[in-house]
Amino acid sequence: MIRVAITGANGYIGSNFIKSYYEKYDLIALTRNENMGDARLASWERTDYSATDLKKLLGTCDAVVHLAYEMATSDNEKRGEKGYSASITTTENVLKTCSELNIDNVVFTSSRLVYPRYKETPFVETDDTKPQNFYARSKVKMELLCQKYNEEYGMNIKILRLGQVIGGDMRVKAAFNVFLEQAQNNATIKLIGKNIRDYIYVKDVCRAIDLSISAAHHKGIYNISMGKGIDNKSMADDIIRSLDSKSSTEIVVDESAIYDKMILDCNKARNELGFSCECEGISDIVKDIMKSVKR
C-alpha cells in the first residue's frame, strides 16, 4: 500500500480526501491543530511544518499531497503579502524535505484565481497569470517554487489549478451553499450580478488528487474543474429543480456587464491524468449531497 502524507489534513479538501481514500492509501495526516481527526482513517501527527519536523515525519512516505496554506480571508488580504508568507515558507520546507528524502511524487493544489478575471475563451495552462488578490499572488509564488524543484531537482510535482470548489458542510459558505439552504427552506434566492464561474465538487477534487498520485511520473500544471461556465441564475435554477423546491429567484443587482468570466480548459488533465468530473453539473452535486444527508 502506498504511503501518502497529507499536509493541512484538517482542512476541507484534506478531510474529504481522507474520508474517501483511507482504504486505498496508508495515510499520514499532518496538521497544526491540537484537534486530530479520526485515527481509524489515518495516522495523525501534529507539526509546525519546519524542515526539521517534516524530515522526521515524511521519511517513510512514497508521495505527499500539500494542502497546508492560509485561507483567502479578508483579514489575510488586509495584511497583504504578509498574510500568506507562512504558506510560502511551509511550501518551500515541504518541497526541500521531499527532495532531500527522494520523494519526487508531490501534488500541490493551486487556484483559478491566478488567472485574470475575464477571458472570452477558456483559460489554458500556458496563459499568462494575473493574480486577482494577495492569496493568488502567493499561489503563483508557490507554483514557481514547484516548477523550480521540477526543473532543477528532477521532481514530479503536479500543480492542480482548481476551479471554485463547492460541496456540503463548507466552513466558509459560498453562493452555492447559501442558495442550497434557501432552496431547502423554500425561500427567495436573491441574485447579485452575472458573473460566470467554473465550479468543481470537492469529491471530484479528491479524485483529481488520487489520479495525480497514481500519475507518479507526470509533472506540471493542470486545470481541474468542470470546464463549463455557470452564472448565479443558472446555479440557483438547477438547485431549485434538483430539490423540487418552491423557491423563486429575485435579481437584486443586475449588472449589465459580466465582470467575471472564468472557464478552465481541462483537456490536459483529461489527456495526461485521465481526469474528468463525475459530477458534471450543479444538479449532480446537489443530488450527491442530499444522498449523503439522507444516510
Query: Which among 31, 22, 28 has a CA at the least distance from the CA of 64?
Result: 28
Q: What is the 3-state secondary structure (H, E, C) of 9-52?
A: CCCHHHHHHHHHHCCCCEEEEEECCCCCCCCCCCEEEECCCCHH
Q: What is the pLDDT of residue 192?
A: 85
Whether residue 135 contacts residue 187, with contact meaning beta carbons closer than 8 Å, is answered with: no
**Helix H segments across the chain?**
12-21, 51-57, 74-78, 85-100, 134-153, 175-184, 202-214, 232-243, 267-273, 282-294
Dig out the grid coordinates for 283 from the structure: 444538479
Q: What is the pLDDT of residue 34?
A: 79
Domains and CATH numbers, the chain: 3-165+199-226 (3.40.50.720)
Separation between Cα atoms, residue 117 and residue 7, nearest integer Å: 29
Q: What is the pLDDT of residue 292?
A: 76
Dig out the grid coordinates for 79 from the structure: 495584511
Separation between Cα atoms, residue 225 and residue 207, nearest integer Å: 11
pLDDT (tens digit, 0 to 9) for every residue of the chain, 295 residues total? 999 999 999 999 999 999 999 999 999 999 998 788 999 999 999 999 999 999 999 999 999 999 999 888 889 999 999 999 999 999 999 999 999 999 999 999 999 999 999 999 999 999 999 999 999 999 999 999 999 999 999 999 999 999 999 999 888 778 999 999 999 999 999 998 888 999 999 999 999 999 999 999 999 999 999 999 999 999 999 999 999 999 999 988 766 666 789 999 999 999 999 999 999 999 999 999 998 766 5
Strand partners, 222: 160
Q: What is the pLDDT of residue 255?
A: 65
Dig out the grid coordinates for 181 from the structure: 439552504
